[in-house]
Amino acid sequence: MKKALSLFFIFLFIITFIILMLTGFYSASLPKRLLYDSPDDIKLSPVLSLKDSTASPVSENAPEVKKLMLFNTIPVGEIKLEKTSRTFVIPGGEPIGIKLLSKGVLVIKLGDVNGECPAKDAGICPGDIIVSVNGKEVMTNEEIEKAIQNSDKPEAEIKLIRNSEEKTVYLTPAFSEQDGCKKAGLWVRDSSAGIGTLSFYCPDTQLFAGLGHPICDADTGEMFDISKGSVCGAGITGFKKAEGDKAGELEGQFNEKNLNGDILINCDCGIYGTLDKPQIDRDAVPLAFKQEVEIGDAEILTTIDGSEPQRYSCKIEQINNEGTKNLVIRITDEDLLKATGGILQGMSGSPIIQNGRLVGAVTHVMLETSEMGYGIFAETMLEKLNSVSGQSSDSLKIAS
């Protein structure tokens, strides 16, 4: 009897532990909000179900709140269901040339002037963005140098932005005997350029999404805060394979003949802007909701030669609903692995297609193994695109 009772409590403990683990897993891993077009789009694990919640919508168009139930009995949290129209977009894969001008002038490092550093003494740090000198706005390297040279005061009033906060410091330039002029001891940058990949395009609004990750300064690692930017077509002329822990990269040239546009924002999930009637001969595809993305086979559209994208097989191995590294992908295409070894820098933004839908875009390569990388949900990029246009998902729907 005692042995049977002990076995029962052990069994009960194991079952309770498993239920607690599942409850914690689903509570942490499932999104707090799901978009859907029809009830069939609401896909959950077989052990989960939905029940009405006591919370009621604040308005007729507000998301519906449901309780998530484990085994139809144990609540694991609440989820918001928001009905919307299915969006269709034209997937990209084309290489794009990217040119950015910063808001202000980015400090990339400090230097000595006659054995001292006026900028450091003033409290300026790498990563700071200088926006004005003596009350005059500066947008280029030349403007900041001219403002310091022409200052008729011993100190120059410098307004800068650090960690999204505006600060004012006072810098006393030192006279450089070598250069014969006043110097601040600053190395700065006002622009950035490179090659990436177009993720998707919405013809009705002429809006595009690309990269899937922010453009950051190569020296400071800080996100580039842009005043304006542009994109143009590009042609891939070659590439460097990964070596050790150094990622490989695409090499190319800008080509403004077949694609031109403006970048409106650079943010944590890519670049977004407008294109002027790009020559993309490709049919629109439905954009997948997050819950429709599956572990399994998929394809990426990317370009490793010229300007015409090709399809390559890959596999989605992990899905994460938090942050922007939502997908872990592995390149399985033998031709691509033989040619490049896997994912290269410059492929960021390459569309990921699964079951005929755009599910995401490649964002990063894993340095330890270039055949693997990360991707972002296409739904996340679309939401950012909608915020750029000030329009809802409904207004971006086009005929398939």
> Could you give the residue numbers annotated as active site?
213, 333, 348
Q: What is the DSSP string of 116-166?
A: B-HHHHHT--TT-EEEEETTEE--SHHHHHHHHHT--SSSEEEEEEETTEE
Q: CA 372, CA 142: separation in Å to the nearest integer?
A: 42
**Do 340 and 284 contact (CB within 8 A), yes or no?**
no
Chain CA centroid to CA 245, Å: 22
Cα 140 to Cα 338: distance, rounded to the nearest angstrom: 44
Distance of CA 223 to the CA centre of its chain: 11
Query: Dihedrals φ, ψ of 12, to 5°?
Result: -65, -40
CB under 8 Å to 7, separation ≥6 — which residues? none
Rounded Cα distance between 231 and 94, Å, is 12
Rounded to 5 degrees, φ, ψ at 74 are -105, 120
Give DSSP secondary structure letters for 102-116: EEEEEEEEE--BTTB
CB 106 within 8 A of CB 217: yes
